[in-house]
Amino acid sequence: MTLSRRTLLKASITSMILTAFSTSAVQAKTLPHSQATKRLKAKRLQAGNTIGLISPASNVWENEEISFAIDVLKSFGFKVKKGKYLYQRYGYLAGNEKERAWDVNNMFADPNVDAIFCLRGGYGSPQVLPYLDYELIKRHPKALIGYSDITALLNAITAKTGLITFHGPIAKQNFTDYTLANFKKVLFNPKAPISLASPPAFEPKEGQAEQDNRLSVIHQGSAQGELIGGNLSLMVKLIGTPYEPDYRNKILFLEDIEEAPYRIDGMLTHLSLAGRLQQVAGIIFGKCTDCEAESAPSLSIEQVLFDRFAQLNIPIIRGLMIGHIDDLATIPIGAKAKLTTTPPALTLQETAVI
């Protein structure tokens, strides 16, 4: 088949862009966290905004799921710009790392895009980190929203640029009433202080008590600091890399899914051996969905948390609405918050958008 001149030209331009990303990958590794001393805030969301939709990790199985995600975003009154590689698939990845990074960079660079939503999580976000243009992102601060594997992207961008990012819903989900209310009070019409991730109201009846969304205190106290965190396995993957956040005096929130207690134990041990848990001001362990033991005998998740956190003299609570759950809170990474244990609560002390 003979390629047209226009096709060859487009291919050449794309190759040049991807080559530029490859070159910048080496440079990105040398960017120190000191360059991110000034925190940046994106503009708040409102109907009429244009949302960039990207897949920086895995893709969905069928294109109709992307159409569903677009309809979800349009329900807010948003216009949607699709990433160039949104429909790309490469096994368990949504295209190769340079293509996925191209979409991230391009959405930040596009003056017509107001905020960026991730289609889903999955696998592969850490692969794009060397190819991101962090200086470009600093010049064009926008809300970036997602969770799960997107944890790597959120924390790296906040660490490298100072931009507050948002651990919150993906585009490929229906928003429950709880998820919608928490999303809007953080990103649409924020008024600090803002209660974050508290369980939905439970109306007790005779013979009943709250069972699914209980809050428990592992260690008493209170603390203030900027928020970092997300998916535990992704936070562990960032340790020792140039994209790892600074843990010092931060409030760390964690969650995970389909990890047996021994694996949660191992990852928390890794954070401890690396000295990270000893640096934080407070810890929130949200939900661990489908984290049952694969075989007996086993420690419970509760016992794992008490064991791994036993030597930490900081406030630690468990059970806030952070995780792979339908009722999902939106948590701004990099924003200032207060953690208390009496009562157990997380409060945002500032608006995370302007």
Q: Is 324 a catalytic residue?
A: yes
Instruction: Indicate which residue of 97, 99, 255, 259 is catalytic.
Output: 255
Q: Is 140 a catalytic residue?
A: no
Least Cα distance to 171 among 224, 116, 252, 123 occurs for 116
- The label of the residue with tokens 């040398």 reads 30
Q: At what angle do helices 261-273 and 301-309 cross, to 10 degrees?
A: 10
Residue 206, helix vs strand vs coil: coil
Instruction: Indicate which residue of 148, 226, 233, 244 is catalytic.
Output: 148
How far, in Å, CA of 310 to CA of 92, rounded? Answer: 38
List the strands of the sheet with 336-341, edge to edge: 194-196, 344-348, 336-341, 222-231, 251-257, 282-289, 316-318, 216-219
In this structure, what is the dihedral angle of CA atoms 259, 61, 59, 108, given to the nearest 10 degrees? -140
How far, in Å, CA of 69 to CA of 82, rounded? Answer: 11
How far, in Å, CA of 196 to CA of 164, rounded? Answer: 16
First vs last Cα of the chain: how many Å apart? Answer: 52
Least Cα distance to 315 among 346, 288, 283 occurs for 283
Residue 323, helix vs strand vs coil: coil
How far, in Å, CA of 115 to CA of 108, rounded? Answer: 8
Peptide bond into 343 cis (omega under 30): yes
Residue 278, helix vs strand vs coil: coil
Would you call 212 exposed, middle or buried from its count of C-beta atoms within 10 A (0-12, 13-18, 19+)?
exposed
3-state helix, strand, coil in the chain (%, to 5): 35, 20, 45
Task: Using alpha carbons only, give the angle 34, 134, 276 rounded to the nearest 5 degrees.
Answer: 50
Q: Is 148 a catalytic residue?
A: yes
Residues with a known catalytic role: 148, 255, 324
